[in-house]
Amino acid sequence: MKRTLRMLAAVLTGLTFAGMAGAQGAPAPQAPPDYSVFPCLSYTQACGKVATRPPVKKALDGPLNGNPEKGKQLAQARNRGNCLACHVIPGGSQPGTRGPDLSHFGSSGRSDAEAYAMVFDMRTVNPETLMPPFGTNDILNEQELRDVVAYLLTFR
């Protein structure tokens, strides 16, 4: 009985605070946690103590020759490209929003070679990017990279 009362009190307190936060708008922003004590994959920060492959600026060799249909499978498969973990992609469900919305990537003026280099290793564009280096880390092979890029370029 005593426990039930205590639980009820906790729930009511929670509701009161939730109500107050709602009345005053969004909760106050908190300072980001200090992750510097943990090892990280960065190759520019002091925390970068985990061995990782250095970034590779890969030039596209010859015409793209990618298959957008295969690229779609690879990009959306959770156990392959898993681009939806971070990007909105046309027709893709439950996207994450950590990366930019790619819905109109094909209209962004990027050449085949630029798009390919980004997916191959985004660290060549932003050293601190969150995006996995799909080419450098052999997550996608050469033809798979071309297929994914061909798919991205169909987004108008």
Q: Is 118 in the site for ligand HEC (CB under 6 A)?
A: yes
Q: Are the C-beta atoms of 99 and 87 separated by less than 8 Å? A: yes
* Candidate list 72, 116, 134, 135; residue touching ligand HEC; CB under 6 A: 134
Q: In angstroms, what is the minimal distance from the CB of 15 to ligand HEC?
A: 36
Nearer to ligand HEC, 67 or 129 (CB): 129
Binding flags for ligand HEC, 50-89, as an x/- string (CB under 6 A): -------------------------x-----xxx-xxx--
Q: In angstroms, what is the minimal distance from the CB of 10 to ligand HEC?
A: 36
Q: Are the C-beta atoms of 152 and 115 separated by less than 8 Å? A: yes
Number of residues forming the site for ligand HEC (CB under 6 A): 25
Q: CB-side exposure of 108: number of CA atoms within 13 Å?
A: 16
Distance CA 18, CA 131 (A): 35
Contacts of 67 (CB under 8 A, 6+ apart): 146, 147, 150
Distance CA 151, CA 71 (A): 5
Which among 142, 123, 141, 143 has a CA at the least distance from the CA of 133? 123
Nearer to ligand HEC, 47 or 110 (CB): 110
Contacts with ligand HEC, residue ranges (CB under 6 A): 75, 81-83, 85-87, 98-100, 102, 105, 108, 115, 118-119, 122, 126, 129-132, 134, 148, 152
